[in-house]
């Protein structure tokens, strides 16, 4: 029997947000969608802009809306193999429209809901990746090939700047890849832990971090999101070993359908 997806996922408020009374502005969402001939795992991470007054709402709404777009697409008979940049750009446009509508209804401007968006859509033989902004998605290719990033984080010309879903040119800056291969393990994370898991100078992944994090996920007996392991992950992201190196909000999604006995 083919192993099913098991996940651990958590967001943790940054110490700088605690000090200033701000909420956690990161959000995450996932869905396992059954189609006529496939099972697709969708995982989304969204990081609200620190300078945006309502980005915690923005990131939540962005993740929720993006998954709803995918559910409609697959529910209407769409397949991962049929995805292209134009289709995904349409989903991003729907996310932006939802943020703009919420801003208007609340008497705010869209920039108040600015957020990034990273997503992985993993089927049995195809995998799609989408990214607007910083943070990253990394994938495992097995023990011999190790870990690699899908897109390098999108950083702007100036420090602490990036691209957001509410930008007028979001379709132009969106990264999209449709990979004609099966991915059995991936992680998505917000920029809060970038410096801990990516090496900027060499543009490589700190593989030791993920080799340590994934064995508990592989050992999970039941499919889906494991609440206990996710709570442990949140405690880890809130621990001094992490917070001494970053004061930002942190989100990490770990997804595996690799057999428990199989190495990374």
Sign of CA pseudo-dihedral 187, 188, 193, 194: positive
Kindly state the percentage of the chain with pLDDT values over 70.
96
Cβ 8 vs Cβ 256: under 8 Å:
no
| pLDDT score, position 34 | 94
**For a pLDDT cut of 90, what percent of the chain falls above it?**
89
Of 134, 133, 131, 103, the C-alpha closest to 119 is: 131
* Statement: residue 2 has pLDDT above 80: no
Please, which pLDDT band fits residue 3 given cuts at 50, 70 and 90?
confident
Asked if residue 259 has pLDDT above 90, the reply is no
Q: What CATH number belongs to 6-256? A: 3.60.40.10
Query: Over the stretch 10-32, which tens digit does the pLDDT of each residue have?
Result: 999 999 999 998 999 999 999 99
- Give pLDDT tens digits for 150-200: 999 998 777 678 999 999 999 999 999 999 999 999 999 999 999 999 999
pLDDT over threshold 70, residue 202 = yes
Structure tokens at 96: 């932006």
Q: What angle separates helix 55-75 from helix 85-106, to the nearest 10 degrees?
A: 140
For residue 64, what pLDDT is reported? Answer: 99
Closest to 253 in 3D by CA, of 91, 67, 43, 96 = 43
The per-residue pLDDT for 146 is 87
Contact by Cβ (8 Å): 137, 118: yes
Give the integer Cα–Cα distance in Å for 103 and 124.
38
CB-based contact 262:29 (threshold 8 Å): no
Where along the chain do its domains lie? 6-256
Rounded distance between C-alpha atoms, residue 109 and residue 99, angstroms:
9
Q: What is the pLDDT of residues 144-163, one digit of tens each?
A: 668 999 999 998 777 678 99
Average pLDDT score over the chain: 94
Taking the model in full, what pTM does it have? 0.95
Q: What pLDDT is attached to residue 79? A: 95
Query: Is 143's pLDDT higher than 90?
Result: no
How many CA atoms within 13 Å lie on the side-chain side of 55? 23
Other CB atoms within a 10 A radius of the CB of residue 205 amount to 20
Of the two residues 227 and 259, the one the predictor is more confident about is: 227
Q: Is 163 left (phi over 0), alpha (psi -120 to 50) or beta?
A: beta
């Amino acid at each position: 029997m083919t192993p099913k997806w098991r996940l651990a996922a958590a967001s943790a408020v940054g110490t700088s947000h605690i000090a200033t009374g701000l909420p956690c502005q990161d959000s995450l969402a996932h869905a396992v969608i059954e189609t006529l001939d496939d099972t697709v795992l969708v995982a989304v991470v969204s990081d609200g802009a620190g300078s945006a007054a309502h980005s915690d709402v923005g990131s939540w709404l962005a993740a929720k809306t993006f998954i709803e777009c995918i559910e409609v697409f697959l529910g209407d008979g769409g397949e991962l193999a049929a995805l292209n940049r134009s289709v995904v750009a349409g989903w991003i446009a729907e996310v932006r429209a939802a943020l703009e509508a919420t801003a208007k209804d609340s008497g705010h401007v869209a920039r108040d809901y600015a957020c990034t968006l990273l997503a992985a859509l993993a089927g049995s033989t195809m995998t799609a990746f989408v990214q607007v902004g910083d943070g990253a998605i990394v994938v495992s290719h097995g023990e011999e090939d190790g870990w690699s990033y899908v897109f390098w984080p999108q950083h702007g010309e100036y420090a602490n700047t990036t691209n957001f879903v509410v930008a007028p040119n979001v379709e132009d800056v969106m990264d999209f890849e449709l990979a004609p291969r099966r991915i059995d393990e991936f992680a998505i994370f917000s920029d809060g832990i970038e410096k801990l898991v990516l090496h900027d100078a060499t543009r490589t992944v700190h593989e030791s971090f993920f080799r340590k994090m994934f064995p508990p996920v592989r050992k999970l007996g039941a499919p889906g999101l494991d609440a206990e392991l996710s709570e442990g992950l949140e405690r880890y992201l809130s621990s001094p070993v992490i917070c001494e190196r970053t004061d930002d909000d942190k989100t990490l999604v770990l997804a595996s359908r690799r057999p428990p006995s199989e190495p990374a």
